[in-house]
Structure formats: structure tokens, C-alpha cells
Structure 1
Amino acid sequence: MYYVNQDQINQRLEFMDWLVGTIPESLENKLESESVIQFLAQERILHLALESVTDIGSYLIDGFLMRDASSYEDIIEILHGEKVFPSHLLEPLLNLVKMRKKLVQEYFHLDRNDVHPLLFELPNVLSEFSISILNYLKHELNT
């Protein structure tokens, strides 16, 4: 019998759904003086998205006793190997989690002149990821 912390997973899925709703506003053209704030908001959205995805992945890995992850990228690869989400999400999810080091440790080197291209596809990626997680839980836990 598996113990999967569905409450924590559901909290993060709900948060991710809320986060997806903030992306369009972060992409709206703002006045020149507001662009720095806009870029900082976009960076935070990316950061929170990747943390949510990896948190959910960690709960699934722990709960279903999958092999231990050695990195953030490994969390995504393990979930992909276990067929938690469809293959076409692998690349954008890996691109998302690979941003962690830049967002958390090398933030002073980030280019704040252009919107990160991942933000444009992130709503669809996160929405499909959420649906995949719920379907996986339903299938694996027979609920």
C-alpha cells in the first residue's frame, strides 16, 4: 500500500492553476517605467512554477516509492519514465526546472530585456501537467 500525500499534491495543483491565471497579466505590455517590475514578476512566476512541479514530483516519487531523484531534472525524468505525463511535456518541463539555478543563484545575471519564451507556453504546459497528475493518481490509487 502506498502513502501518497494527496493533500499536499492538491494544494500545489490548486496553486499552480492560480499561477497559470497570473501569466497573461505578466505578459501585458506595461509602461517603460514598469518593465523592471514586470520582469521580476515573470521571474517569480517561473520560479514558483518550477518549485510547484518539482514539489509535486517529489511527493509522487516518495509516495509511489520510485527511484530516488538526484536533481531537479531527475525528478522530471523519473516522472516521465513512470509515464506520469505525456512525452511532449518532457522538454518544456526540463527547460523549466533547468532555470532554477539562474533564478535562485545567478539572478544578478538574468537578461531583463525580453520576456522568457517559456512564459508563452507555460499555461498550457502546467495545465496539461496538472491534468496528467490527477489522472495518474486516479489510475494508480484506483479512486
Structure 2
Amino acid sequence: MYFVDREKIEEQLSYIEKQIGIFTELKECETIIEKLAVERIVHMVIEAVLDVGNSMIDGFIMRDPGSYEDILDILEDEKVITAEMCESYKRIIMLRKSLLQFYTNINHEELFEVFQTELTVLKHFAPNVREYIENELGPVTTFKP
């Protein structure tokens, strides 16, 4: 029997979608506020994607990941995401190191461009996860008061 915390995953997926929506409102990354917003959005989307991936892996008892990239490989192997999506998400995940370790020297133009380029594919993450969960567990039939 699987233990998948649908509520937590849905909260994280909604968060990802909200951050994507905010990012799409940014037309450029010039001012300090825009740069800080892009940093935060990209960083938190990365963390949320990894958290959802880990929740899926734990909940559906998939093989243990050895790295952040491996989380995405497992989701691809289990048909949660496609190969194209996996490669796109890996390009986004690669931004994590600069955001967390080289934060005093971030190339904001590159950060903005990479995220902007992968945005179309990233928008499919939440629907794919929801579809996988519903196919594996069926629709939600009970609701909390």
C-alpha cells in the first residue's frame, strides 16, 4: 500500500504554479527588486520540484535517488515526466548551485533566460504529477471537514 500525502503534494504543486505565474509577469531582470524576485522564484521552484519528486519517490516506493538529477531520472523512469521534461528540469536544477553557493556573483541574465526558456515545459510538471497520482491511486473520494 502506498502512502502519498496528496494534500502536501498539491500544496507544493499549487505553489509552483503560483511562482510560475509571478515569473511570467516579469518582463525583464534589470532592477535590484527584479533580480531578487527572479532569484527567489527560481530557487523556490527548484526546491518545490525536488520536494514533490522526493514525496513521489517515497510515497510510491520508487528506487532511492543519489542526487538531485537522479530524482528527475526516477520520475522519468516511472513515467511521471517525459524525457524532454526531465532534460528541461535538469537545466533548471543546475541553477541551484549558483543560487546557494555563489549567491554573491549570480549571473541574473543567464538565470532569467534559462528559466524563461524552460518555462513552457515547467508548466507541465504539476499536471503530470496530478495525472500520475490519480492514475495510480484513483480520484480523491474523501474530504476533510
TM-score (norm 1): 0.88
Structure 1 residues 113 and 80: CA distance shift in structure 2, 3 A: closer
Matched, 1:140 2:136: yes
Instruction: Within 5 Å, give how 1:105-120 maps onto structure 2.
Output: 105-113=101-109, 116-120=112-116
Alignment counterpart, residue 92 of structure 1, candidates 85, 88, 91? 88
Q: What corresponds to 2:58 in structure 1?
A: 62
User: What SS class does the counterpart of residue 20 from structure 2 fall into?
Assistant: helix
Residue identity matched to 1:3 = F
Which shifted more, 120-129 or 57-66? 120-129
Whether the 8 Å CA contact 1:54–1:75 is kept in 2: the answer is yes
Offset of 1:91 from its aligned partner?
1.3
Unaligned residue ranges in structure 1 (runs of 5+): none
Matched, 1:16 2:24: no
Matched, 1:37 2:57: no
Alignment counterpart, residue 74 of structure 1, candidates 52, 70, 74? 70
Q: Quick one: distance in 2 between partners of 1:79 and 1:117?
A: 25
Whether the 8 Å CA contact 1:57–1:75 is kept in 2: the answer is yes
What is the aligned-residue identity percentage? 35
Offset of 1:105 from its aligned partner?
1.4
After superposition, the CA RMSD in angstroms is: 1.7
Which shifted more, 91-100 or 116-125? 116-125
Number of matched residues? 139
Offset of 1:5 from its aligned partner?
0.9
User: After superposition, what is the alpha-carbon deviation per residue over 1:32-73, rounded to whole angstroms, capped at 9, x for unaligned?
Assistant: xx6122112111111011111001000000001111112111
TM-score (norm 2): 0.87
Residue identity matched to 1:128 = H
Residue identity matched to 1:132 = N
Runs of 4+ residues over 4 Å off in structure 1: none
Structure 1 residues 141 and 40: CA distance shift in structure 2, 3 A: same
